[in-house]
Chain A
């Protein structure tokens, strides 16, 4: 998967540390604030916030580290998360709601319910994910500013 390269539209780039649950949600709140400051529609922000939170928590839960990039294009918000970590062996399985490899520590905090990736997909107009075992995972979510398609009808990969 090619990551977005047009830096003209870059709104923010954020580093996320694996296992740093203390600050989980911090990047999501910065992203939400950045979009609010730009006057973006509330429903779009609501969807981006879900995508950002789930992607952020995934990096914290499973990866060593990751980078989240936010682009604001004329017609859409493009959200990208790239991590260095174990990767996902079976993406189809990981996308199934309820499937999770989370350990007990993660679950006790109320994470790891196996809803993260499917929440991201449902909130996206376009959702792409690629992963290499032993290296890491990249995901991209595009959310159209005009409201796009019905959430949940994202076109998959």
Chain B
């Protein structure tokens, strides 16, 4: 499933890199500890987090994540959005909790693979 479809189905708000929304999402990872995400997430994952600072983009770019989803109605920092634009990492926001959006994303990806 690509980012565009996933974002529309889950009503995610895209904050940057609209031109990258045809990118495929192959999996997902949820976490706020950057070392945990560095160690355990995979390329192509959509990363669900409550962190909003610029270092999130550094991790997402290093891991080649498909995109980042910032939860709980939080807004990414301005310099995070600038870096995300430069690195080509779309950032989405949602009012849902990490628990809820992770479950929904998981369901959609599983349905897509079935």
Binding site for B on A (CB under 8 A): 21-22, 24-26, 28-29, 32, 46, 49-50, 53-54, 57, 109-111, 113, 115-116, 119, 122-123
* CA gap between A10 and B32 in the complex, in Å: 35
Binding site for A on B (CB under 8 A): 32-36, 38-39, 43, 49, 51, 53-56, 58-59, 61-63, 79
* CA gap between A22 and B54 in the complex, in Å: 7
Q: Which of A21, A22, A32, A53 contacts B38 (CB 8 A)?
A: A53
Determine chain A's interface SS by DSSP, over half rule: helix
Q: Is the CB of B39 within 8 A of A119?
A: yes
* CA gap between A81 and B91 in the complex, in Å: 32
In the bound complex, residues from chain B placing their C-beta under 8 Å from that of A53 are 38, 58-59, 62
B57's nearest neighbour on chain A, judged by CB, is A25
A-B residue pair count with CB separations less than 8 angstroms: 60
* CA gap between A15 and B61 in the complex, in Å: 21
Instruction: Beyond A25-B58, A111-B55, A113-B36, list 20 extra A-B contacts (CB 8 Å).
Output: A21-B53, A22-B54, A22-B79, A24-B55, A25-B55, A26-B58, A29-B62, A49-B38, A50-B39, A53-B38, A53-B59, A57-B34, A110-B32, A110-B49, A110-B56, A111-B34, A113-B35, A119-B39, A122-B39, A123-B39
Report which residue of B33, B34, B49 has the largest number of chain A beta carbons within 10 angstroms of its beta carbon. Answer: B34
Q: Is the CB of A32 within 8 A of B35?
A: no
Q: Which 3 A-B pairs have the closest CB atoms?
A: A25-B58, A115-B35, A113-B33
Q: Is the CB of B55 within 8 A of A110?
A: yes
Q: Is the CB of A50 within 8 A of B58?
A: no
In the bound complex, residues from chain A placing their C-beta under 8 Å from that of B36 are 113, 115
* CA gap between A119 and B62 in the complex, in Å: 15
B79's nearest neighbour on chain A, judged by CB, is A22
* CA gap between A24 and B32 in the complex, in Å: 16
Q: Which of A32, A46, A110 contacts B34 (CB 8 A)?
A: A110
